[in-house]
């Protein structure tokens, strides 16, 4: 959705802003079955699809599901697709509130929806869910935030500092990088995520075998490392992960 020139919370004008999104299912005539499902850290709508499908939690046979892509994720306005002077490393800082306001325009202006049956998301998507409830309480009937909080607490800080560490230790990443460098660094991020993304019981009971991995090392390499490195991020957009981490650390619904 083309949004024109958008003023961000920082006061910077982002020219020609746009949101990429995908929908699933059919919107009822009374528009009562709409669900908003924002993307999480480093994700696109593709990574959201595991919860969408017939018989799943978000069933397009019953609901109209809108998945907006975060600013900076390579599909919505991002360093790689924004014209100078805000391209590449000059892409302006965007906040959770910036994303939610633009999503509100998408929902109301593109689809004419005045009530959302549900807003849900995990991690950074959960933070957006809380922001939706705080900013548009009369519009949101239910929220289902998953593995996320309304602000970044000290434990969140510890986790995100761990994610930042392999990026900051990589000289090639710091100096600007090509796709090969980006994939190497993102594999390291995936390996850090591996210890946080699933429970002790998941690993102890070898539940990764249910995902098609016989050996633990194969799961770590194929699922976690490969998941992050294989997202196809433009190298210019993968640099934006640094800023996205800073945004997570600064997240607080009370500050919006």
Does residue 131 have a pLDDT over 80? yes
- Mean pLDDT for 77-90 is 81
* In contact, 5 and 101? CB cutoff 8 Å: no
Place of tokens 């995990």: 122
195, 211: one domain:
yes
Per-residue pLDDT at 72? 85
Cα 46 from chain centroid? 11
Q: Check if the beta carbon of residue 135 is closer than 8 Å to that of residue 98.
A: no
pLDDT of residue 172: 64
> Among 93, 119, 148, which residue terminates a domain?
148
CATH number, domain of 9, equals 3.40.50.1820
Domain count, the chain: 2
Choose one of 126, 148, 170: the last residue of a domain.
148
> Do 106 and 160 belong to one domain?
no
What is the structure's pLDDT at 145? 97
In terms of domains, do 158 and 221 share one? yes
* Residue tagged 């799943």 (tokens): 56
**25-78 pLDDT tens trace:** 999 999 999 999 999 887 889 989 999 999 999 999 999 999 999 998 889 998
Tell which residue, 110, 239, 242, 101, has the closest CA to residue 164: 242
Distance between CA 195 and CA 191 in Å, rounded? 8
- The mean pLDDT of the chain is 87
Name the pLDDT band for 256 (thresholds 50, 70, 90): low
- Looking at the structure, tell me whether residues 30 and 142 fall in a common domain: yes
Instruction: Considering only residues 74 and 135, tell me which one the structure prediction assigns the higher pLDDT.
Output: 135
pLDDT in tens, 159-218: 888 888 877 777 666 555 555 666 777 888 889 889 988 999 999 999 999 999 999 999
Same domain, 138 and 164: no
**Burial letters for 140-149: b for 16+ Cβ neighbours within 10 Å, e otherwise?**
beebebeebb
In this prediction, residues 245-255 reach a mean pLDDT of 65
Residue that terminates a domain, selected from 148, 178, 196: 148
| 144 and 160 together in one domain | no
Pair (73, 166) in one structural domain: no
Q: Note down the domain range covering 127.
A: 2-148
E strand or H helix at 65: strand 64-68
Cα separation of 24 and 52, whole Å? 8
């Amino acid at each position: 959705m083309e949004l024109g020139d958008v003023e961000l919370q920082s006061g910077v004008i982002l020219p020609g802003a746009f949101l990429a999104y995908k929908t699933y299912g059919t919107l009822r005539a009374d528009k009562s079955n709409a669900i908003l499902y924002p993307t999480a850290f480093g994700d696109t709508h593709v990574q959201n699809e595991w919860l969408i499908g017939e018989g799943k939690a978000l069933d397009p046979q019953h609901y109209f599901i809108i998945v907006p892509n975060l600013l900076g994720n390579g599909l919505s306005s991002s360093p790689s697709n924004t014209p100078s002077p805000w391209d590449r490393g000059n892409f302006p800082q965007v906040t959770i509130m910036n994303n939610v306001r633009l999503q509100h325009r998408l929902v109301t202006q593109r689809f004419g929806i005045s009530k959302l049956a549900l807003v849900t998301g995990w991690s950074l998507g959960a933070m957006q869910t809380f922001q939706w409830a705080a900013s548009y309480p009369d519009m949101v009937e239910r929220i289902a935030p998953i593995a996320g909080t309304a602000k970044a607490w000290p434990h969140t800080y510890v986790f995100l500092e761990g994610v930042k560490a392999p990026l900051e230790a990589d000289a090639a990443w710091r100096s600007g990088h090509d796709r090969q460098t980006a994939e190497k660094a993102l594999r390291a991020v995936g390996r850090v995520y591996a210890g946080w993304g699933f429970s002790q019981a998941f690993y102890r009971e070898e539940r990764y075998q249910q995902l098609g991995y016989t050996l633990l090392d194969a799961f770590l390499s194929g699922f976690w490392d490969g998941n992050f490195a294989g997202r196809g991020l433009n190298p210019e957009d993968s640099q934006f992960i640094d800023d996205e981490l800073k945004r997570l650390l600064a997240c607080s619904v009370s500050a919006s």
